[in-house]
Chain A
Amino acid sequence: MNKKWLAMLLTGAMVASMGTAVMAEEAETEGAPTAVTTVGPDDGTHFELWTFVDLHSNFYANMVNEWNEANPDKQVQITFSTYPYGDMHNKLMMSLQAGSGAPDICDIEIGQFPNYTGADCPLYDLTAALAPYEDTMVTSRLDVYSKEDGSRVGVPTHVGATVMYWNAEIFEQYALDYKSVKTWDDYTALGQQLKEASNGEVYLTAVDTGGVDWMWIAMAEYGDDWTGGPGGEPNVQLDSVQKMLEMQQQWLNDGIAMIATDGHTDTDGCRVPISEGKIASFPKAMWYMSRFTGYEAMKTLEGKYDITTCPVFEEGQKCSVGVGGTGTVVTNECENPELAAEWLAWAKCSEAGQKHIWNDLGFDVCNTAFWSDEEFAYDESNIYNTFFRVKPYEVLNQLAEADAIGTVYTTSVSPTINDYFCTTVLNNVLEDGMDVAEALQDAQDTIEMELM
Chain B
Amino acid sequence: MSKAKKLLYSQKIAPYVFVLPYILSLLIFWLYPLVTGILMSFQNVTFGGKEWVGTAHYAKLLQDKFFGIAVSNSVEYMVLTLVLLIPIPMLLAVLMESRLTKAKGVWKLIMYIPALTSVVISGLLFRLMFSEGDNGQMNVILHMFGQPSFAWLKTKWTAWVGLLLLCMWRWTGVNMLYFVAGLKSIDNSVYESGEIDGANGWQKFRYITLPLLKPTTVYVVTISVFAGLSMFLESFMLWNGNSSPKNIGLTIVGYLYKRGIEKNDMGYACAVGVVLMIIALVINFIQLIATGTIKVGKKED
Contact = CB atoms under 8 A, between A and B. Distances in A.
Interface string B95-130: 000000000000000000000001110000000000
Q: Could you say which interface size class chain B belongs to?
A: 35 or more
Given A11-B222, A11-B284, A415 B299 contact: no
Contacts, number: 136
A390 interface: no
B232 A115 contact: no
Interface of A is mostly: helix
Contacts of B294: 4, 7-8
A449 interface: yes
A452 interface: yes
A189 interface: no
A173 B156 CA distance: 40
B86 interface: no
B119 A449 contact: no
Given A7-B294, A422-B243, A428-B246, A446 B65 contact: yes
A18 B229 CA distance: 9
B66 interface: yes
A415 B259 CA distance: 11
A230 interface: no
B132 A269 contact: yes
Given A97-B266, A427-B246, A29 B120 contact: yes
Nearest to B249: A423
Nearest to A449: B63
A19 B245 contact: no
B294 to A, nearest CB: 5
A1 B299 CA distance: 6
B281 interface: yes
Interface in A19-50: 19-22, 25-26, 28-29, 31
A204 B253 CA distance: 40
B214 to A, nearest CB: 14
B74 interface: no
Nearest to B230: A18
Contacts of B151: 259, 431
Considering the complex of A and B, which 10 residue pairs feature the smallest CB-CB distances, nearest first? A119-B46, A120-B47, A16-B30, A120-B46, A122-B47, A427-B245, A115-B264, A18-B226, A120-B49, A25-B233
Interface of A: 1-4, 7-8, 11-16, 18-22, 25-26, 28-29, 31, 86, 89-90, 93-94, 96-97, 99, 115-116, 118-122, 209-210, 259, 261-262, 269, 272, 415-416, 419, 422-424, 427-428, 431, 446, 449-450, 452
